[in-house]
Amino acid sequence: MHITQLNRECLLHLFSFLDKDSRKSLAKTCHKLLQVFQDPLLWSLLNFHSPAELKKDNFLLGPALKYLSICWYSERVKVCNIEDWMKNSFQKDFCNRHEHTVNDFLLQVCNRCPNLLSLTLSGCGHVTDNCILLLLKSCPNLTTLKLENCVRITDQTLEAVTLYGGSLRTLHVDFCRNITQTGLERIREKRPWVTLRADRSATMIPDSKPEKRMMLEKAPRKLVQL
């Protein structure tokens, strides 16, 4: 039996075992397999391992998407974690190449994937509070939100959870250095049913603007002079 003689359900099952590139390659062989590739039911789960993968034309975003993971484990993540005003020209150039990639992708998710249940972001140093806020508003069924090493995430995201995370049951904000203990306590107060984890976040050194640092450094000197 030729593969194209299989019914739609069997073909979807076979496609489900393939990675995104393999699905795309197989879809190019005939019109019937292309239709299977374009079936929203095939794309209920998406895993990405770098921002570059988000720009590939080897997947579909649609209302069937329920589980999304973008996890970037690379030495390059350290560059994105450097405070903007401390980056040299090389580091800024590197970040400029993908600074908006994840945010822009998540905005597409907001517009196309209202049934999202789970989102995991790791090493996404340029993801902003505003982006997570919009996603919480656009995906009211979201039950799991896991953020790891996302340095631009602050207590504003925690506040958004208290306002729009009515369905949320699991929240991780690990190694997010601009999360504070006050923000975590507010989550526990307003959303006591949420399973909250925040490894290291509230104990890490938060970012501060250069002018604020100067003021903090000058304060002890003035005390010494007095």
Element of type H or E holding 195: strand 195-197
pLDDT < 70: residue spans in the chain: 1, 209-226
Domain total of the chain = 2
pLDDT of residue 170: 98
Question: Do 100 and 186 reside in the same domain of the chain?
Answer: yes
pLDDT of residue 77: 84
Question: Do 33 and 117 reside in the same domain of the chain?
Answer: no
Domain assignment present for 221: no
Element of type H or E holding 171: strand 170-174
Domain assignment present for 115: yes
Domain assignment present for 209: no
Q: Decide: 65 and 109 in contact? Cβ < 8 Å.
A: yes
pLDDT of residue 68: 98
Threshold 0.95, pTM exceeds: no
Q: Per residue in 79-102, pLDDT tens?
A: 888 888 888 888 888 888 888 999
CA distances from 157 to 171, 210, 222 (A): 11, 24, 36
Amino acid at 195: T
Beta bridge partners of 147: 121, 173
Q: How far apart are CA 83 and CA 85, in angstroms?
A: 6
Question: Do 176 and 151 reside in the same domain of the chain?
Answer: yes
- Expressed as residue numbers, the domain containing 36 is 1-42
pLDDT of residue 80: 84
Nearest alpha carbon to residue 119 among 184, 171, 58 = 171
Within its chain, how far is the Cα of 176 from the centroid? 12
Q: Decide: 129 and 154 in contact? Cβ < 8 Å.
A: yes
Question: Do 10 and 81 reside in the same domain of the chain?
Answer: no
Question: Do 15 and 101 reside in the same domain of the chain?
Answer: no
Nearest alpha carbon to residue 109 among 119, 96, 99, 122 = 119
Question: Do 110 and 17 reside in the same domain of the chain?
Answer: no
Phi/psi for 188 (5° steps) reads: -65, -30
Q: Determine the angle formed by the axes of helices 155-164 and 181-190, rounding to 10 degrees.
A: 10
